[in-house]
Amino acid sequence: MTNPNFEFKPASDFIREDAPERYIYNMDADKHEIAISTHDLQVFYGDNLALSEGDLEFERYKITSLIGASGSGKSTFLRSLNRMNDDVATVNGQIMYRGVDINTKNIDVYEMRRHIGMVFQRPNPFAKSIYDNITFALTQRGNYTKEQLDEIVETSLKQAALWDQVKDELNKSALALSGGQAQRLVIARALALKPDILLLDEPSSALDPISSAQVEDTLIELKNQYTIIIVTHNMQQAARISDYTAFFHLGKVIEYDLTRKIFTRPKVALTNDYISGNFG
């Protein structure tokens, strides 16, 4: 059946005949401060190569979106950055963070994940109070006074734009929060550890449009202090909030560039097909 209103977009007119097959934006180390970068990253699930040719540099204090169809390897890539794939996959290659390759055996992954935090698709607050959700990971490692903890709870909830809604019920169970609130609590929980980099795996895809917009606003606020890398299926979201965008396809980075360039003048025909909705 053909939809009469459907307007088929051919690979756009402005893509030249000799369009490259891949295009990776190279950061000029003098102009851009690199927060984290990957080199020759390969991820195997068993014998199955899920990601190859993952070479990307991420600029500090910017939001980078990873887009692509399901199974394109973008989530796999993201989860490899703080070694969340350790148990399920084999990750080869280098992940450089502050001059150290963190993809090696002698790295303390628990300590590393305090620098590179992660938020998942579905809100996953602990079955604890709102207050304990935020302080729990802190108190497991260090000694804090009640005043310090109070302050951290307040700051991180404010950063996640949740403080005004929950300040009077910090001892209530986090399980009673709505989906959007729970997701912002989870972001606050990650922020409480004062990470350098925040990885988000489709953080608003399980939320309604209003909650989703709130999470987006939160991320834009956070950009001043954090490097954010976000996987999203929502192209409008990527266009709205991110500075850079990487397009993944079949386990490869096809195009990586400034977001405005990707969404207005992609250099690779495949990218254009994807963002104009011709597949995926």
Partner 1 sequence: MKAKTADKIATGFIYAISGIVALILFAMLSFILVRGVPHLSWHFLTSPARAFEAGGGVGVQLFNSFYLLILAMVISFPIALGAAIYLNEYAKKNYFTAIVRTAIEILSSLPSVVVGLFGFLLFVVQFKLGFSILSGAIALTLFNLPLLTRSIETSLAQIPDLQREAGSALGLSRWETVLHVILPAAVPSIVTGVVLSAGRVFGEAAALIYTAGQSAPALNFGDWNPFNISSPLNPMRPAETLAVHIWKINSEGIMPDVNAVSAGASAVLIIVVLLFNFSARKLGMKLYKKLTSS
**Which residues contribute to the site for partner 1 (CB under 8 A)?**
82, 84, 109-114, 117-120, 122, 124-129, 132, 136-137, 140-141, 171-173, 175-176, 186, 189-190, 193
Closer CB to partner 1, 202 or 255, in the complex: 202
Q: What secondary structure does DSSP assign to 80-128, as a single string? A: HHTTTTTTT-EEEEEEEETTEE-SSTTS-HHHHHHHEEEE-SS----SS
Closest CA to 243 of 225, 227, 255: 227
Calpha distance 280→272 (Å, rounded): 12
Shortest distance, CB of residue 165 to partner 1, whole angstroms? Answer: 17
Nearer to partner 1, 117 or 266 (CB): 117
- Shortest Å distance, C-beta 176 to partner 1: 6
Count CB-CB contacts under 10 A for residue 175. 14
276 dihedral zone (left: phi>0; alpha: psi -120 to 50; beta): alpha
> In this complex, which beta carbon is closest to partner 1, that of residue 206 or of residue 250?
206
Of 69 and 175, the one with the shorter C-beta distance to partner 1 is: 175
Rg (CA), the chain: 20
Q: Using alpha carbons, select from 181, 271, 197 the residue that is nearest to residue 235.
A: 271
**Closest to partner 1 by CB, 2 or 140:** 140
Angle among Cα 243, 247, 252 to the nearest 5 degrees reads 135
Q: How far is the CB of 11 from partner 1 (least distance, A)?
A: 39
Nearer to partner 1, 175 or 258 (CB): 175
**229, 68 in Cβ contact below 8 A?**
no
Q: How far is the CB of 177 from partner 1 (least distance, A)?
A: 11
Copy the structure tokens of residue 256: 């990586």
Distance in Å, CB of 256 to partner 1, minimum? 25
- Minimum distance of partner 1 from residue 36's CB (angstroms): 16
Give 14 or 110: the residue with its C-beta nearer to partner 1: 110
Pick from 256, 270, 203: nearest CA to 234 = 203
Residue 135 · residue 192 · CB < 8 Å: yes
Residue 62 to residue 35: CA distance in whole angstroms: 9
In the complex, minimum distance from the CB of residue 87 to partner 1, in angstroms, rounded to a whole number: 9
Please tell me whether residue 58 adopts helix, strand or coil conformation: strand
